[in-house]
Amino acid sequence: MSTLMGQRAFVTGGSKGIGAAIVRRLAAEGAQVVIAAQDMLSAEALADEVGGTAVRLDVSDLDAVQRVVSETGPFEILVNNAGIDQHVFFTKSTVEEWRYLLAVNLEAVFATTHAALPAMQAAGYGRIINVGSEAGRQGSRGGSVYAAAKGGVISFSKSIARENGRYGITANVIAPGPVDTPLLRKALESGGERLLEAMKASTLLGRLGEPDEVAAAVAFLASPEAAFITGETLGVSGGMGC
């Protein structure tokens, strides 16, 4: 497959889980991928595997985000995948935790987009794909700040789509439900089998999603076949958003 041949992609949080699946799928479609992550050991191994490039990046450092995107660009494809959740009721959370969750899940999306857009506008082409969450559309018990940030990603993406359609740039959101990743499995350690079954039951298909299923949706939105799709949120969640 080579629908993305000759294009360059920048993927945040690209070293593991959903991010690694996205990197592999975009590379399989022909894209040259820059993998931005904090875990350089995993990122460099993946870069060697797919013929990409690994860069160290803490997405909570917004100045670093803009610098790295500018220095490694330009890009035809921007995938904002990095994210972090916190399972705690709102009254038990702190201002410092709010700020960090917003920085990673929302403000980093601002920073990468701000840095990548000028070159896309000049080229008259671009694909911005932000990995949100069904929590951003439905809310999340024990994840209010995370849900607020992901809701912000959806609204921001719609606004970017409105501002940049005239440049041939699309901006869309993927909203995953529960996806079987090492991070999810670690979160399930405290809840055990009961929490796992509850997550499965929250989907109409009665199972967890797979990282490759999210990656397939990202690859579609990055492809020429999705040229007339912008400002949309695509649920990859087994029907949670119905």
For residue 187, tell me if it sits in a domain.
no
Mean pLDDT, rounded, for 41-56: 98
The CATH number assigned to the domain holding 74 equals: 3.40.50.720
The residue ranges of DSSP E strands in 51-100, in sequence order, are: 53-56, 77-80
Q: Is 141 exposed, middle or buried (0-12, 13-18, 19+ CB in 10 A)?
A: exposed
Amino acid present at 76:
E
**Are 76 and 9 within 8 A, CB to CB?**
yes
For residue 191, tell me if it sits in a domain.
no
For residue 92, tell me if it sits in a domain.
yes
For residue 91, tell me if it sits in a domain.
yes
List 100, 125, 146, 167, catalytic entry: 146
For residue 201, tell me if it sits in a domain.
no
Q: Which residue has the higher pLDDT, 7 or 187?
A: 7
- Residue range 152-191, pLDDT digits in tens: 999 999 999 999 999 999 999 999 999 998 878 877 776 6
φ/ψ of residue 211, rounded to 5: -55, -35
Q: Which residue has the higher pLDDT, 190 or 240?
A: 240
- Residue range 180-194, pLDDT digits in tens: 988 788 777 766 788
For residue 171, tell me if it sits in a domain.
yes
| Residue 1: per-residue pLDDT | 58
Neighbours of 147 (CB within 10 A): 23
**Are 185 and 159 within 8 A, CB to CB?**
no
Long-range (24+ apart) CB contacts under 8 A made by 47-53 are 49/24, 50/23, 50/24, 51/27, 52/23, 52/27
Residue corresponding to tokens 């690994």? 54
Asked about 146 being catalytic, the answer comes back as yes
Buried b vs exposed e over 26-56: b needs ≥16 C-beta within 10 Å?
Answer: bbebebbbbbbbeeeebbbebbeebebbbbe
For residue 190, tell me if it sits in a domain.
no
Residue corresponding to tokens 């359609």? 165
Range of the domain at 222: 8-179+209-235
Taking the C-alpha atoms of residue 139 and residue 129, their distance in angstroms, rounded to an integer, is 21
Element at 10 (helix H, strand E): strand 8-12
Q: How many domains does the chain have?
A: 1
Query: CA torsion 48→106→58→230, rounded to 10°?
Result: 20
Helix (H, G, I), strand (E, B) or coil at 169: strand
For residue 198, tell me if it sits in a domain.
no
- Residue range 14-28, pLDDT digits in tens: 999 999 999 999 999
Distances (CA, A) of 5 to 25, 33, 118, 217: 12, 11, 22, 18
Contacts of 95 (CB under 8 A, 6+ apart): none
Amino acid present at 119:
A
